[in-house]
Amino acid sequence: MTTLLAFLFVLGVLVFVHELGHFLAAKRVGIRVLKFQLGFNPTVLSFRRGDTEYGVGALPLGGYVKMAGENPDDERTGQADEFLSKSKWQRFQVLIMGPTMNILLAFVLTAIVLFQGVEKGAYEDQPPVVGVVAAGSPAARADVRSGDRIVSVQDHAVGTWEQFFVAIGSRPNREVTLVLLRDGQELSRKVTTVQLAGAGRLEIGDIGVLPNVHPHLRSITPGDPGDKSGLKAGDVIVATDGQPVTFHWQLRETIAKHPDQTITLSVLRDGVARSIPVAVGKHGTVGWLGVIPVDDNVTIKPGVAQAIGMSAQRNVEYGGLIFQTLWGLLTRETSPRQLMGPVAIAQLSGESAQLGWMSLFSLMAMISLNLGILNLLPIPVLDGGHIFIMGLEGLVRRDFSIRVKEKMLLAGLVVLMMLMVTVIYNDLTRISWIERLMPWR
């Protein structure tokens, strides 16, 4: 139920804001709006105010604004308040305001989330200098070494670990070219990414490199196995049984897998390396030490002006990533399996809602930005497609015939339907019991 309600809330807000943009722009330029509806027919609730009927449809999967004289085949009276009676500039304003409102919503929601404070790994804004190369990983096979500075991924410069993870994560199961800086020399390496372990049904690329960071023990429970073994608060855990430890969850997993066994922890205490044998206890069926390992994080608490600036920067970066993904789809550099449809969005909405309002707002901001940008694509049927057709008419200095426009809209509808089939198929393959019914997978 939480998933359904969260999905309806997210979809309802995004559609309402989009259609509100069209509605307000139409009113501003003097176009008569016949109907403003949230959801598709049949209409279950409606009221009229002035020339406009406001309604709620039974199918909460969209919405629309119907304007007088909007379509070429509509009955027209030639009155000045009809859509096609307005100039191309005025019609452009009406069409552009839907996507613009979605982009503005993404900006506002991101600013609200950032204003609450952001916690992230201290390493994320640091240059991607390799600390750990997992044994047998794609990076290891390609001769990527500890200490290498990753300069670019597939000709895209990466200045931070965050940028690197995005660049690799968006290219699962693809061969990519890395440019490395080693001992002052630039080297090029071909690496084939793999699916990130633990990513579930989402396709996220990985090559098996991690930063040179380690968790530390925030506290030790007196009398528990960790305390009895000689561990102390502040100890930095470098490795377990010779295996490097980068994040706190890796240490937790190792402890959980070794109940009633002894493991050797390599630690740094006051800058001095130590090797400590630790007798792991047992809590239920899993290993237990009574320690709390944490990563080195930084918390950013921006003011209003700073949150607004950070929001603008983040949305520009995300927007660039969206365009990069779209271009990757055209060049086959990006897998179509990364696309998500309504089922995946519903699942993410439910998961985000359980984490709290800020998590849900973050998801809404990302979807709203995607919706705004995708609606600007020059595909007939979409707002960007109508703008594109108007632009072509402006170039040739004449309006196309209804027949030509119908063919353009049909072509756009075919492209849109192919996209919908792709994302829905992707969604279904992420559901285990449905995937088992697909013998070709």
- 89's CB contacts (< 8 A; 6+ apart) are none
DSSP one-letter string for 137-201? SHHHHTT--TTPEEEEETTEE--SHHHHHHHHHTSTT-EEEEEEEETTEEEEEEEE-EEPTT-TT
CA angle (305, 306, 309) in 5-degree steps: 90
Whether the CB-CB separation of 402 and 72 falls below 8 Å is answered with yes
From 19, 70, 82, 203, active-site residue: 19
Count the neighbouring beta carbons within 10 Å of the beta carbon of residue 184. 5
Q: Is residue 19 flagged as an active site residue? A: yes
Chain centroid offset of residue 339 CA: 10
> Strand pairing partners for 150?
180
Q: Phi and psi of 119, rounded to 5°?
A: -115, 130
Asked if 17 and 102 touch (Cβ cutoff 8 Å), the reply is: yes
DSSP run (H or E) holding 44: strand 33-49
Dihedral angle sign, alpha carbons of residues 188, 189, 192, 195: negative
- Cα dihedral sign, 307-312-315-321: negative
Indicate the residue type of 353.
A
3-state secondary structure of 32: coil
Query: Residues with Cβ < 8 Å from 373, sequence gap 6 or more?
Result: 99, 103, 319, 322, 323
Return the H-helix or E-strand segment holding 121: strand 118-121
**Which residues have a catalytic role annotated?**
19
